[in-house]
């Protein structure tokens, strides 16, 4: 929609009519030219516009230079905010000055080009005094003329500086620095950022094997047979992980060093222990019957649940009563049974797990039974199979405000059959068979228990299991920067043997299946029972192992397994760099070097907030320049808002008398709305505001007609 003119009755400029009707300048034209040349120029306003534009341009030049840089990069005596504020105030004040002059001038242009209500003159005059007057002019014009845009620009100048202040935002972010750059924080900051990892060869504990007997030092000392000596630190980590109270992620964070409290590490690899639990409840078989505990006791109805796996047979039975511990002390009160497997082929769901350390299968009744809410026949029973296994991981770590966060980028459990340290020649068939059934544990007692008799006699007694990460899968996961030597991880026979034996024997109480000479033992007396039976045992011939207590007391067995795996992983990553003497596999540094970061305040420029000041500036410049050009076209001097000019060029005497009378009567505003005036060249003294239809107006028309050699017909108003 065009905004060039108000939709009000207008008439052509008297000067334009005169030019069209006469070839020689009239006396009126000569007076106008004289006034225009009398030093009434727009130099000051043009300079003000240049200052306003220059100040905003300076802001636009300075801010990109420091956008995204640390705050201390600004070294001027005044702050960046102060400089922007000064430049913004300069730009706003200069633009306000130029717009004020433009409004003062436009009130003369307005009536030179048309006749209108006298009230419009008052609105233009008020607009020269600031934003409130500009709003009144804007409301009066209602966007029917482009001058209304100038009034809008003047009003919006109120938000000019706040928007410029909002341009700058100070935000903190970590910056990578070298240790020397943060030496002021203390001597500890001279150390680089490090985080522990497990790399190279894992060699801990001792595994001797069957048939090794300790020396008999004296007759007073016992002669004992020691099969293994597990690493004490690793066993402590296992016990700590079994505690359900420690089943939190933060408890098992690896050791790290970060002097500033904010550090980052590039992706790296590490050996660890992972866990997995699968629901095998579909394999449970249930049956009912009648029986008694001893002869002479009443027989009761019972329900029995059984679970058979390739390596275990679990049975969980109870009578059809509420929790037996309360109603029948002599009755069976078991709510959970469990068993242990060391070979993948003896499991239900881990037969393809080539790096398995140990697995447990357990069957448990719902807690509603032990809480006395249901009877045994109505109590749900579930079964799960859980495993611990060696795995390799790609990790990305960071420390924020002293707290470690680690992201697992990928997990693998890829195993090579074995790596021989003695360069023995082993047939492919032997290697494949050994790798499958020994689970890389190389334990002769385990092989014998599974019906395999090969082992050390086949030249693989001193072998080491090797895990690896495929380079192609790292590439597919977009993980870069990993050296080839960090893709392979070795685990010695001593480590596997000692660890598996501790988990099976000491932790799980697995001593009747493979070491009891009674070949007639059945599966029911080798399973672990929770809570202990009437005789105080959890299995037929031994005290309570730690594992069954943890399984029975845990609210979430899966979380306990994850906790145990995380605790073991923490220990593997935190242990020292040393390896066993004579080991042909090289040791590698077990810490990952990272970047130390300091929390630094940065300058951020929010460029969207520059839109309003820039728009106001462009709009203001356009309006001021349009007013200047319009004044020159109409042949008016740069009177602006001069009060002296208003007094000199104001209303004719008759109109002033009318307004004074209206003011005395309290009707000044009404007459201002009713009286229509125009800026006319009434006599040789130049233009004057004249009421349309008055005697002065008629005299002007007459003199204008007489001064022309042609018959001029004035347009009707």
| Predicted local confidence at residue 292, as pLDDT | 60
Rounded CA Rg of the chain? 49
pLDDT at 108 over 60: yes
Q: What are the distances in angstroms from CA 17 to CA 20, 22, 30?
A: 5, 9, 15
Please tell me the least confidently modeled range out of 27-41, 137-151, 416-430, 587-601. 416-430
d(CA 579, CA 200) in angstroms, rounded, equals 9
CA angle 394, 398, 402 (to 5 degrees): 140
452 C-beta neighbours (distance < 10 Å), count: 16
Pairing of strands 686-691, 206-207: unpaired
pLDDT in tens, 141-198: 887 888 888 888 888 888 788 888 888 998 888 787 765 555 444 444 457 888 999 9
- Per-residue pLDDT at 534: 52
Residues 6+ apart with CB under 8 A from 250: none
Q: Which long-range contacts (CB under 8 A, 24 or more apart) does 709-713 make?
A: 709/21, 709/22, 710/21, 710/22, 712/17, 712/21
The predicted pLDDT at position 68 comes to 87
Say whether pLDDT at 447 is over 70: no
- Measured distance CA(351)–CA(343) in Å, rounded: 8
Residue 648: CB atoms within 10 A of its CB come to 12
- Token digits of residue 574: 């935190």
CA distance 698 to 427: 128
Confidence of residue 709 (pLDDT cuts 50, 70, 90): very low
Query: d(Cα 179, Cα 616) in Å, to the nearest integer?
Result: 49
Q: What is the mean pLDDT of residues 203-207?
A: 77
Helix orientation angle between 611-634 and 43-66, rounded to the nearest 10 degrees: 160
pLDDT at 520: 41
* Residues whose CB is less than 8 angstroms from the CB of residue 637 and which lie 6 or more positions away in sequence, other chains included: 35, 36, 38, 40, 631
Nearest residue to 273 (alpha-carbon basis) of 247, 306, 238 = 238
State how far the Cα of 573 lies from the Cα of 568, in Å rounded to an integer. Answer: 9
In angstroms, the CA 372 to CA 366 distance is 11
Q: Which long-range contacts (CB under 8 A, 24 or more apart) does 221-230 make?
A: 227/445, 227/501, 228/497, 228/498, 228/501, 228/502, 229/205, 229/498, 230/205, 230/498, 230/499, 230/501, 230/502, 230/506
DSSP strand pairing (256-257 vs 193-196): antiparallel
What's residue 47's pLDDT?
93
236 vs 572: CA distance, rounded Å: 12
Task: Return the residue matching tokens 């400089």.
Answer: 83
With 0-12 / 13-18 / 19 or more C-beta atoms within 10 angstroms meaning exposed / middle / buried, residue 304 is middle
Residue 70 DSSP symbol: B
Average pLDDT of the chain to the nearest whole number: 74
Nearest 5 degrees, angle CA 290-CA 526-CA 314? 50
pLDDT of residue 385: 96
For residue 289, pLDDT beyond 60: yes
| Contact of 281 with 382, CB cutoff 8 Å | yes
φ, ψ of residue 242 to 5 degrees: the values are -70, -25
Please check the confidence at residue 352 and state whether its pLDDT lies above 60: yes
Letter string b/e over residues 651-677, b meaning 16 or more CB atoms within 10 A of that residue's CB = bbeebeebbeebeeeeeeeebbeebbb
Q: Which two tokens stand for residue 208?
A: 């001797």
Residues 6+ positions from 73 with CB-CB distance below 8 Å:
66, 603
Provide the H-helix boundaries in 201-273: 232-242
User: Between the CA of residue 475 and those of 169, 200, 592, what are the distances in Å?
Assistant: 39, 22, 21
**What's the pLDDT score for residue 295?**
54
Q: What angle do CA 331, 333, 337 make, to 5 degrees?
A: 135
**Helix residue spans in 158-271 (DSSP H):** 160-166, 232-242
Q: pLDDT tens digits for 494-503? A: 888 888 888 8
Of 156 and 697, more confident: 156
- Category of 372 on φ-ψ map: left (φ > 0), alpha (ψ -120 to 50) or beta: left
Mean pLDDT score, 686-713: 59
Residue 99: phi and psi, rounded to 5, are -65, -40
What percent of the chain lies above the pLDDT cut of 70?
69
pLDDT at 319: 76
pLDDT score of 245: 55
Torsion of CA 367, 539, 300, 325, to 10 degrees: -50
pLDDT tens, residue by residue, 455-510: 343 344 456 788 999 999 999 999 999 999 999 999 888 888 888 888 888 888 77
pTM of the entire predicted model? 0.62
């Amino acid at each position: 929609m065009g905004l060039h003119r108000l939709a009000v009755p207008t008439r052509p400029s008297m000067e334009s009519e005169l030019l069209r009707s006469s070839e020689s300048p009239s006396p009126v034209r000569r007076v106008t030219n004289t006034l225009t040349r009398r030093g009434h120029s727009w130099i000051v306003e043009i300079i003000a516009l240049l200052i306003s534009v220059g100040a905003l341009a300076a802001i636009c030049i300075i801010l990109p230079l420091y956008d995204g840089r640390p705050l201390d990069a600004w070294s001027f005596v005044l702050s960046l905010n102060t400089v922007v504020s000064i430049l913004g105030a300069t730009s706003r004040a200069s633009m306000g000055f130029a717009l004020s002059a433009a409004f003062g001038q436009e009130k003369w242009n307005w009536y030179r080009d048309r006749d209108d209500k006298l009230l419009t003159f008052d609105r233009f005059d008020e607009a020269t005094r600031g934003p409130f007057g500009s709003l009144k002019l804007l409301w009066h014009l209602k966007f029917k003329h482009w001058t209304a845009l100038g009034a809008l620009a003047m009003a919006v100048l109120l938000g000019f500086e706040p928007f410029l202040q909002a341009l700058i935002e100070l935000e903190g972010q970590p910056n990578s620095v070298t240790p020397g750059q943060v030496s002021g924080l203390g001597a500890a900051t001279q150390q680089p950022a490090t985080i522990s990892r497990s790399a190279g060869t894992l060699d801990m504990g001792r595994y001797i094997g069957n048939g090794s007997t300790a020396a008999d030092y004296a007759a007073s000392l016992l002669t004992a047979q020691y099969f293994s000596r597990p690493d004490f630190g690793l066993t402590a980590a296992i016990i700590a992980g079994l505690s359900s109270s420690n089943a939190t992620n933060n408890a098992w964070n690896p050791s790290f060093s970060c002097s500033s409290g904010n550090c980052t590490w590039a992706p790296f690899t590490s050996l660890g222990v992972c866990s997995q639990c699968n629901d095998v409840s579909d394999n449970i078989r249930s049956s009912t019957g009648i029986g008694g505990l001893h002869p002479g006791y009443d027989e009761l109805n019972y329900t029995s649940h059984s679970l058979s796996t390739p390596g275990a047979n679990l049975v969980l039975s109870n009578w059809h009563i509420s929790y037996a511990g309360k109603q029948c002390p002599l009755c069976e009160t078991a709510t959970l049974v469990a068993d242990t497997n060391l070979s993948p082929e003896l499991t239900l769901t881990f037969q393809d797990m080539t790096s398995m350390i140990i697995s447990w299968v357990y069957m448990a009744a719902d807690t509603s039974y032990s809480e006395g809410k249901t009877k045994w026949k109505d109590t749900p029973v579930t079964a799960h199979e859980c495993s611990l296994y060696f795995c390799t991981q790609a990790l990305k770590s960071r420390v924020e405000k002293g707290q470690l966060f680690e992201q697992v980028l990928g997990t693998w459990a890829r195993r090579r059959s074995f790596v021989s340290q003695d360069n023995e020649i082993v047939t492919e068939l032997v290697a494949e068979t050994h790798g499958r059934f020994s689970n890389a544990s190389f334990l002769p007692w385990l092989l014998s228990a599974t019906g395999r008799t090969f082992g050390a006699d086949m030249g693989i007694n001193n072998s080491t299991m090797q895990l690896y990460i495929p380079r192609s899968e790292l590439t597919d996961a977009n993980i870069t920067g990993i050296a080839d030597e960090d893709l392979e991880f070795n685990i010695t026979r001593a480590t596997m043997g000692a660890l598996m034996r501790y988990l099976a024997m000491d932790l799980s109480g697995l001593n009747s299946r493979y070491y009891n000479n009674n070949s007639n033992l059945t599966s029911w007396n080798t399973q672990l029972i929770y809570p202990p039976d009437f005789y105080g045992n959890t299995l037929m011939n031994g005290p309570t192992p730690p594992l069954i207590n943890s399984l029975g007391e845990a609210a979430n067995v899966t979380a306990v397994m994850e906790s145990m795996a995380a605790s073991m992983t923490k220990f593997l990553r935190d242990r020292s760099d040393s390896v066993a003497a004579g080991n042909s596999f090289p040791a590698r540094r077990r810490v990952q070097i990272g970047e130390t970061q300091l929390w630094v305040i940065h300058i951020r420029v929010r460029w969207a907030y520059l839109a309003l000041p820039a728009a106001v500036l462009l709009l203001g410049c356009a309006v001021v320049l349009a007013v200047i050009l319009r004044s020159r076209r109409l042949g008016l001097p740069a009177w602006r808002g001069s009060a002296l000019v208003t007094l000199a060029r104001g209303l004719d005497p008759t109109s002033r008398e009318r307004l004074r009378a209206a003011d005395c009567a309290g009707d000044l505003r009404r007459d201002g709305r009713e009286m229509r005036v125009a800026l006319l060249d009434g006599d040789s003294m130049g233009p004057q505001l004249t009421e349309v239809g008055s005697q002065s107006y008629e005299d002007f028309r007459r003199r204008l007609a007489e001064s022309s050699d042609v018959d001029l017909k004035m347009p009707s108003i």
